[in-house]
Amino acid sequence: MQHDPYTLARLPVRKRDVLEVFMKFGNRKAMRVVEALPERDGVLDEKEIDRLLVRTHWEMQRLGEEFYHGPRVYELLRGVIDAIRRSGFKDELKVVDVGCGIGYDIRWLAARTELTKQGVELTGFDLNSALIHEANRLSAAERLPCQFLHGDAFSLDHAGHIFVSTGVIHHFRGAGLREFLRRHERPETQAFLHFDFQPWFLAPFGSWFFHFLRMRTQVARHDGVLSAARAHSAGTLTEAARNAAPGFASGIYGAKIWNTPAPRVFHTLIGIRRPLIDGLGKALGRQAPRLGELR
Amino acid sequence: MLGAQVISTTALVALLVVNRLSPNQAELVGDLEDAAERMLWVFVPYALAVVGSLALRIIPSTDLRSATSVFALGPFTAIRPLVMVAGVLYGIWRSQLLETRVLGLFILGLMLSLEFFLNRVVGARQEREIAEVV
């Protein structure tokens, strides 16, 4: 999918162009997946692509549920919110999910926690209108206190105090990653939490295994493996964050399982304003040792 | 659930038909009971492992709960067809009667086909649901 960077209007995508990208990487599996995508006159059929994306995100939600991702996000987010409140901030806190898809994280938080009753506004953003439409439909079905908007999460119209994301940051590479992190540098933003695969040698195999077991769509199966393979290391993430968003103390949360050397499947790039660091440590309590060096 | 009921009912009907038509009904019942007892040596440990993993999820730890999927429930899903084959073959291996072996293989075929058909049915339903929302 492609969008106009200014209007965010969707742009037509030629199947041939997508195939050429994967041909350059020698990724024949991806080429087979792309070959099977529906097209009209050489242009990928937008409605069918939207259906494919919704289908894939439905399957990803099942994985998120199985791996308790909602509670995982809440454990850390709760600590960050507590740290911000301890600093004296009493106004409504805006939590913004960047690239929310069908909004599983935000919907889980709205349905299973008291955050919205504690003065927290939950909002999800995505560039794909079909996914946002689905997120709003699912949210309305349960009458959840959250909202989903089609657009740029970092636009000036929507000031987020805490930005979160899941499985998004590995899509940004090099200068794109630094630019993504630079956009967090806004006066009102107090913290960011970006959850993503943690790279290690078994990650692509583990990802393939679970995507094969739990998903039906070829795109989801293939992209799941690729995502694990493309995941950024802790060093890459923290270096990019410290250079691009120096107003935050950045580090990695949850790299290892308990006190073992075993890596967690997901780790979290966390950035927080320096005056809040002590408060975060106190708020996390027993989970504070999971926090790596913040600087 | 419905699929499991259909499979179970089909298996029961097959069992009753074979028993009715068998000239050695008493012997057949004994042979089937012996085969079933042998199958339990494979199926019960597997079932206990699954239930045990699910029971661990009572402990309120996000890491532990997701670990049960990574290290137990996921792999158990992967080996489930192998467990079915191993259990049935172990059960019928020492059977005395041809009817027992045929029934065992027939029911194994039913079990293995269930997941395939369920995936097709649910996949088709999912496509209809997505066509309604997009």
Q: Which two tokens stand for residue B59?
A: 């402990």
Helix (H, G, I), strand (E, B) or coil at A26: coil
Express each pLDDT in B73-116 by its tens digit: 988 988 999 999 999 999 999 998 999 999 999 999 998 998 88
Work out the minimum CA distance from A66 to partner chain B, whole angstroms: 7
Q: Helix B74-93 crosses helix B98-133 at what angle (to 10 degrees)? A: 160
Q: How confident is the model at residue A5 (pLDDT cuts 50, 70, 90)?
A: low
User: What pLDDT does A106 receive?
Assistant: 98
Residues 6 or more apart from A174 whose CB is under 8 A from it? none
A with B: how many residue pairs have Cβ under 8 Å apart?
Answer: 50
Answer yes or no: are the C-beta atoms of A173 and A199 closer than 8 Å: no
Chain B residues in contact with A209 by the CB 8 A cut-off are: 74, 78
Query: Which of A68, A137, A206 minimises the CB distance to B65?
Result: A68
Ranges of each domain in chain B: 2-133
Give the mean pLDDT of A37-49: 86
Answer yes or no: are the C-beta atoms of A151 and A96 closer than 8 Å: no
A-chain residue closest to B63, CA distance? A257
First and final C-alpha spacing in chain B = 29
A-chain residue closest to B79, CA distance? A213
Whole-complex ipTM = 0.78
Check CB contact under 8 Å for A54 and B133.
yes
Chain A residues in contact with B69 by the CB 8 A cut-off are: 66-67, 210
Burial class (CB in 10 A: 0-12, 13-18, 19+), A2: exposed
Ranges of each domain in chain A: 1-44, 53-290
Work out the minimum CA distance from A82 to partner chain B, whole angstroms: 20
B-chain residue closest to A208, CA distance? B74
Answer yes or no: are the C-beta atoms of A211 and A241 closer than 8 Å: no
Whether residue B66 lies within 8 A of chain A, CB to CB, comes out as yes
Q: Name A271's bridge partners.
A: A192, A250
Express each pLDDT in B1-58 by its tens digit: 787 888 889 989 999 999 898 888 899 999 999 999 999 999 999 999 999 999 999 9
Q: Which CATH number fits domain A53-290: 1.25.40.20, 3.30.300.90, 3.40.50.150, 3.10.580.10?
A: 3.40.50.150
User: What pLDDT does B74 receive?
Assistant: 87
Helix (H, G, I), strand (E, B) or coil at A211: helix
Query: Which of B74, B130, B134 minimises the CB distance to A210?
Result: B74
Check CB contact under 8 Å for A55 and B62.
no
User: What pLDDT does B37 receive?
Assistant: 96
pTM: 0.88
Give the mean pLDDT of A119-143: 96
Regarding beta strands A162-166 and A93-98, do their DSSP bridges make them parallel or antiparallel, or are they unpaired?
A: parallel
User: What pLDDT does A12 receive?
Assistant: 83
Q: Which two tokens stand for residue A196?
A: 């993503």
Closest residue by Cα to residue A271 from A157, A194, A167, A174: A194
Whether residue B61 lies within 8 A of chain A, CB to CB, comes out as no
Map chain B to HEC letters.
Answer: CHHHHHHHHHHHHHHHHHHHHCCCHHHHHHHHHHHHHHHHHHHHHHHHHHHHHHHHCCCCCHHHHHHHHHHHHHHHHHHHHHHHHHHHHHHHHCCCCHHHHHHHHHHHHHHHHHHHHHHHHHHHHHHHHHHHHC
Answer yes or no: are the C-beta atoms of A39 and A15 closer than 8 Å: yes
Regarding beta strands A147-150 and A266-273, do their DSSP bridges make them parallel or antiparallel, or are they unpaired?
A: unpaired
